[in-house]
Structure 1
Amino acid sequence: MTCSLYKKSRFSIPTLGLILLLVGSFSLLAASESSAQSVQSLKDELQQLSKRPDYAKDTAYLSKANELGFLLAETDPDSAFSFLENQIELCRKAGFKKGESDALKIYGNALQNKGDFAASISYYQDALIIAEGLPEKKLVPGILNNIGLVNYNLGNYAEALSKFYEAIKGSEESGNMYVKAAALNNIASIYFEQEKLEEAKTKYREMLEIYRKLGNQGRMILAYNNIGDVELKQNRPLEALENLKIGHSSALELQSPEFIEMTARTLAGIYAALDSSEKAEGFYRQSIDIAREKGYGVPYSHSLIGLADLYYKQGKYQEASAFANEGLVQAQRMGQPMQLRNANELLAKILEKEGNFEAALEKYKLFKNYSDSINNTQGKRLATALESEYEFSKKTLEFEKSSLRQRWLIFSAGIGLVTFLVILFLVYRNRNNLNKAYHSLMEKNAEIGQKNSVLENTLTQLKSTQQLLIQSEKMASLGELTAGIAHEIQNPLNFVNNFSEISMELVDEMNQEMDKGDLEEAKFLASELKGNLSRISSHGKRAGSIVKGMLEHSRKSEGKKELTDLNQLADECLRLSFHGLRAKDKSFNADFKAELDPDLPQIEVVSQDIGRVLLNLINNAFYACTEQIPNQIADSKNGSIAELKPLVKISTQKTKNEIIITVKDNGPGIPESLKDKIFQPFFTTKPAGKGTGLGLSLSYDIVKAHGGELKLESKVGSGTSFFIHLPILS
């Protein structure tokens, strides 16, 4: 007996890159240059600067040392700690407050890259206190951005969004585009986690444009990576792959382990989505090796869980469990809610497959708790409120730049206030009645809102269930097709094999005649050989067309209408249905007949969808006349229908403005009491387990979407006919 905790998997491994900032004691140009410099080149510059007298008090030396500390924190956090402790002490002794604030912030960066979020917050707070005490506030936005990142990684989305928007406002006031771009990236990452994918992509593209103008290749890699990750989540793996190819090649060119690891992790997810398991595993292992070596805590957990999911999909549950548990331990060490959610979800599915349902249920509960925490409605509401506040603040700054507009604003406010007082006086006399009406309305609104909430939840659940059942119906149709295809393709393959053997014998005979010098006989044999090759080509093309038809039916419909030969489509569906049912049940016995109008014109339809309609109607017809006719014979006393054989007939006909496709069977017919229900979703007369009740409902919707009609005629004891009416459009 099996048990399932899942109706539909929502497991995903996002690889979004978040941005920590170093903006402070050195200029924007220096900040830009630092990303392009290597650790060794910075060490060489510091070696030269250290030759100056009192270099430890020299702000140029201390600023350059902060640049080196920033690169170490990004690329090798473990080696950064002792260097930064010494750097903080040097800045304090020199009285260099800007440098001290930078160094404290960079130390927080190193801790955050290691996954020690709780410890990093105290360093950021100390850096913020110093930065707010300086005459210029240029350091403050960057620190606020990094504090927001800590809250993001701890799952405190409301506080994180607040800090990111504060950072954007401060960066626009100071003209610091690096901070603005970083905060836009991090806001987009929250939108991504909340599955607001279009909003996330918009923010990432804003960030990409800023870094393109600044000429920062490293951060452009991050933008391409994150845009690719959104497109992967939107089920557009090929578009995502194009962005990641740009990002990964740039990362290799820069020889940056941080960006190589990040883009490798995203490429692994894309290749996994494209079912290229070997490439996906290679990139995951590359990411894991770099993250383990460099001490990148969150990416390490990401890739462990991603590789575990890859093994799970391959049915390697033991390997999947080992990597998922290792990723879970890393996520618990960091207190990182997104990875805790993903690890617990994957472990629940693995345990379920292994039959340990009690343990799977416990993991699923943990997954649900983390998922609810990440997607809490408070965070979503606050995101909207903060963005509105941000837009309002931008407009307020514009007003402050123009004194004339300020005076007009004040004048308008005065007029508005006078108008408001006049209206308030006129309304005052009816205040009591209005208050009563208002309170009554509020109570009704609250009641309506509560009922709407219940109805929305119910509707969401129903839609989810409906989508699963629709997919099940489509897959059942595809399964029936497969058996028919196997039979159809065997005939041309037999011909190809037979003619190939005959052709080989002809070649031997032709060689013998040529050896004898009998060229006339050799030419005759050559012409025979050419004829055989022509037949082989013809039957090979036939097999190819069958496979092509199968692929066209099985691929996901894109809703694109194309000129279609409905005679050919109807004939193929009839034969595929018959051979598919016969392959499933050797005792199946029925006749079929096609009466196709030779003058039928081609019309524009979605061929995959109309094919599904025809297959569904034909399968139903075969079921009706084969499953139910034996009962009819058994009930007959005079034996008048004892020789009745199941028959399904399909015909096409062109009228003035439409094409009519008819599917008719000689089954027992449909009672009048059931005709009104036959196209309703989930209604079926088949026994339990033999139908979902969605086939005719989906068929009806598809025909309606083509501007046509699906009609029914049936009489008990005389069979049933379904008529597909499709308009001929000029």
Structure 2
Amino acid sequence: MPYLLYIKSKKTKVYIFMVRKSCIASWYLWAINIVLSSVTFGQELDRDSLRKKVEQFQQTPGYKKDTAYIKALNHLAYRYWSTVPDSVMAISKRALLFSNRIGYQRGVVVAMINIGTAHYEKGNFQEAMEVERDAMIRAEQMGLRKEIGVLCINLSMVYMDIGLYEKAQQLAYRGLEIATENGYDKQVARNHWTLGQVHELQGNLHEARKSFARSKALYDRAGYKDLLHMLDIRIGRVYLKENQPATALEFYEKALKESRDLGHRAGMVRSFMALGDFLEQTGNPTEAMEKYAEATNIAMKLGTEQKVAEADLKVAKCLLGTGKPEEAYVQVQRGLRLARKINHMTLTREGVLVLSEIQAAMGDYKAALDSYREYTSLGDSLMNQEVRTQLVRAEEQFRHGQEIRTVNQRHQEQLLRQRNLTYFILVLSILLVVMVVLLFLYLRNIRRTNRIQKLHQEEIDAQNRELERMGKFKDRILSVVAHDVKTPLNSLKSTVDMYREGMFTKEEMGMLTNDISMKLNEVNFFVNDLVLWAKSQMTEASARPVRFEIKEIVEKTISLLLPDAKRKGIEVLDRTGPGMVFADVEMVKIVVRNFLANAIKYSGKGDGIIISSSIQSGERLLVVSVEDTGTGIPAEKLPHIFDEVNMSTEGTHHEIGTGLGLVLSRQYMEMNHGKIGVESEQGKGSTFWFALPLAEQPS
């Protein structure tokens, strides 16, 4: 985030006065005054001198962690923001700890602003938003106008990165208003900068250039020369988007010259990176690599591992584009190591994608596929832009709903008070006329109110129970989709994406067809089970029993799933005899299909499956069993095999399932007045069975 806050005194000297009772106190005050007389909190101090000042604090006899020390820490954190976000985080957390200890609220707010900035620089937008919002609440409670203005800018940057441009623009205008009213010249300039970024993201390039130019003029007039190069880079980027590369190059070179003249090494890194990007985009990858190398050398001296990693990845892409995949492989490995070391998820994901492309160019398709899958996995963990936007919008809607509910609650309380007051006046009036009538009416009204309240309470309790049930149902649905449906879909998507990008030949894709077909069958069964289970949870389903022959159902199910069994080398034997049952045909089909599918899933090559039936004359039940010689079920899982809490495990060929098939089977058997059960021994196989009422013989 390109803006932090530190406290800068109008005077350059900072003094601390402490009260002591002994003569040593006088000497101590004099020593502290001498040490702090050279401490300034202006932006001209570099990190080395600030570190020395902090060390002087700690080495002073009788030293205490007071407000001057906290200000020094916050300023030191500010000087790190553009190079080492992890250092910003560590120093700011230290400042926050000491601020809380001594009750220094302004120090708390400034430290929280710096922590939010560190989260932003590392791409942790949700964490940055939470910290900055908390800081905004504290700043507004204390009336810290300058800090509120800074937080408007910082939150505006977060909203821009998650795609809420209107919200970002509103905050930028609010920050501009605060800065203008209070004469905060630097904040005025920074808000014009932020508005320029919003205009650029919205496609208003002319307005973006005007805002950037206005911001640069204000910074220049205020003497903040070390920020001018960043605005020149922004203006150059806008000109490049307007298809004016010559003008864009002038601004990039101007930014580099300004940074060199000031000896601003972080600015030189940014300028060389911008020039490298420009050369790469305009078709000069060799010259671009030279600029990236310059940026890398300076960044390494600064200790800015994030910029070094970023430059390494860009050089790797250029090398790949110039037909040097082996050199690109070495470069991308170095960049990836740094990105993982500093735990920068965005750079890591970008590096893994470049690595996948390089491996594909080198002919190592298996490694390329593995890298691409890691890239997809990292994308899920980072959460894509649309999902982040939806989460933030949902949070905003939730907050708005809470405000409406609070207003409604207050309105209801006011109406309740008015009603009670009306009753009270009515009672007093009636007391003056007839006491007996008043008492009768009052008692009758109380009884009626109690009945109504009781009915309302019962309705509310019923609604709460239903909401709780639906909430649990929603959680189970999301758990199943996230755990069992997304995985095969991600695998299929990765394979198809790589085929579309030319990483597989048609012959190689043909070899993967069976695997794709199996995955699609799994997803189809997943969705069918999920829909049926969701329907059973949301509606009161009931069975529609009819007379039918069980053997026909078994034969059709075997013909449906036999290709899967043959593919795995499993023999399926049908030993069911004739038998008429009275049950819901579709529900029984689902039970038979789930039993046979599970038997195939947990059996391997050379195993066998036997489907048989028998009649229990005493209870007038037809029993159908599916016996396999597969992996079996652990003893501790058997008691819960038909519970909703049970989750499916991988099959012998890494097949997965929703774990809902057996739940549906149990529910359907109960609806048809049947029974269900399982017998299994791990390593020897399983026998699943169900029993249905026999159909009455027609008269």
TM-score, normalised relative to structure 2: 0.42
Structure with more relative contact order (C-alpha pairs < 8 Å, separation 6 or more)? 1
TM-score, normalised relative to structure 1: 0.41
